Chain A
Amino acid sequence: MTQRPLVLRGGRVLDPSTNTDHAGDVVIIDGRVASVESRTTSVEDAEIIDCDGLIVSPGFIDVHCHLREPGREDVETIATGARAAAAGGFTAVCAMPNTDPVTDNQAAVGFIIRQAQRAQASRVHVIGAISVGQKGETLAEFGEMVAAGAVAVSDDGRPVVSAQLMRTALEYARTFAIPVIDHCEEPTLSQGGSMNEGIISARLGLKGIPSEAEEIMVIRDILLARRTGGHVHLAHMSTVGSVELIRWGKERGINVTAEVCPHHISLTEERVVGYDTNAKMNPPLRTARDVEALREAVKDGTIDMIATDHAPHHYDEKEREFADAPNGIIGLETALAVSVTNLVETGHIDFSTLVDKMSCAPAKLFGLPGGTLAKGAVADVTVFDPDREWDVEPSQLLTKGRNTPYAGMRLKGRAVFTIVGGATVHRL
């Protein structure tokens, strides 16, 4: 399939991986970055996309989302998820394995990859399960899964309860140089909880999940990473305590990386007052102090990347008593705007750091293609408008899910073109 050459003309080319930040053109030929220059000479037969007023960056990569297929195609499929991701500016996502059946073997990995290829939207990398069936008992076949295309392993949805199993996973994963992603939650402390433990949970009569439920597992995983030399990646960090522990670990050169979700740097537990199930997720929304600590952690590098934990649920499932509703909100299409509003506009970081958190770091730390506009790199590019304001109308999103706490809000920042391997998979 020969593609026409593509010229992204006149935008602000922002690529932290090559220290690029200037107005210019990006030329893409045969699915790869041919050049990045201030002014291009004309390219034969090229499609030209005018990027005036827009930022042109390496494509965003989301290392944490739930695409629900196989098993819950009623709430999302790989196709609808990949298209939603592209609409959000993501050129690649990593799909978590808590599907039905669980993605814990090579055949399951292959299935997801094929479905993603059919969708022809953003790339979908597969995260395999740590344990068979995510039961937390025996290791899944990391080798076979990696050979089939898996890029990491995780039992996300659930914590790895057994420290011994986590240790073994970290050691075994070293052979394949993949990260082990943990959902940090000490289950006896969190059991029955549906929101952060604090004054709000006490007022609302909801059982709370104390921040220690996360922090206890964070330090456990950091210590095990130290012991084993493995790479542990901490999913959806949400507390000031976790941030302090990660800092402690990094200071000692331990191979720990961490991600934060846009909702944890923008919303607090106050959002739960009124029992809105679109404010229910795990880990839960915490306090203003936690939000500020997480924003600072993004700024100082303690938090390496921004991930969405996109988790669509059926309207009926969320339309019930708070304690019974499932955890999770969608996030692929709002991630950029929420991050711009709550990290860049607040002065915590600039766009260069944002692009690093959303693209360069995920690619680098997970060993994924993309994350750079260096010459010869695969042409995964995000062109976004940092000033574009838009209203979040759930029924108009590409994801099948409607469960977002940002419904009805006006946000700032939107992807305009998403280019994967030189092909434009999304146009606003």
Chain B
Amino acid sequence: MADKEVVILGVGMTKFGRVTGRNPMEMAREAGLMALKDAGVDYKDIQIGFCAHCNQPIGTGTDCFAELGMTGIPVTNVELACASQSRGVMLAAYMIAAGTYDMAMVIGIEKMPRGMVPILGEQSDMPYPFLMGLMPMPGAYAMMAQRHMHTYGTKREHFAKAAEKAHRNGSLNPNATYRDVYTLEQILNSRLIADPITLYMCSANADGATATVVCSKKMAKKYTTKPMLLVGWAGGTPVYEKGGMLAEGPTEMLGHKVYDMSELGPKDVDVMQVHDAFSPGEIFTLEELGFCPKGEGGPFVWEGNTEIKGKIPVNTDGGLVSCGHPIGATGGRMIAELSWQLRGLAGERQVKNPKVALLHNQGLGGTNVMMFKM
């Protein structure tokens, strides 16, 4: 690679909302224009585009970018379930680091249906668990949570604490879908979805769009004197393990790759975004990325270490649980929050003077880990 660092020059996002009925193109345009303005870049200077989405029709990428201008640039759709947008940013980063392009834009867009994420595809092609309805979406997280409780003595209250903090942070975030604050009791006593996961530990489908402008360090000099650098990134899919359970991506391995690439480690990280599609996710990920020993994620969260004023603030914007989850756009929301945190623009949610930020975005097998530095 010519340069292993690239710049996150601008970010944008719409307010996330539950089944707003907003037109996807209108949302993509709003987020895109916001990111361009934030970057100080004209659309004609964008050289390549990626559009992340999962439930939108064929041609969504070209249509979204056409809302901003028609300059003939190559546009590619990216799908990696809940981790689509951050994968789009990674693809842009590889191309910029290789010297192929200097300026890219990644849009994430999703208009979601109500309820649980639907099962798509021909019924005859469906795997047995889906055909039967054996694995509703919280099921995998719930089973991992049960195993964690069995192996390490983690308690329901630990998961509830992660949810309580997420809702409290989200109450400070005008872009979040849900801004109500709940007590531990309210969370534990909310409707059971898949034991031990209750309703208020779940992210809900939402509509929304996000956008990220990525550029080379050389190009960034024209626009800013204090660039937010993407200094390490790695993506992956599950690794076979004999007798192993259904696994999401290999978060631990990706963490090591990113720590090697960035020459930064957990001790250096000041603020973090992790994939909490369901609250136990925060606890698993803290362990996998080396922020606490295996099995101690529950007490680590319980003691308040992941609060905005804690040792390692996690999901300062409320995470998926409070922000809601427009699948294809979520990665861009994580990047936007980290960008605002590193630039001191996070308002009431601001972490004190952060310099290094880590991102973990995961979706049905695919996982991305990214390290940012100011």
A and B from one assembly?
no
B residues contacting A by CB (< 8 A) are none
Q: Which residues of A contact B (CB under 8 A)?
A: none
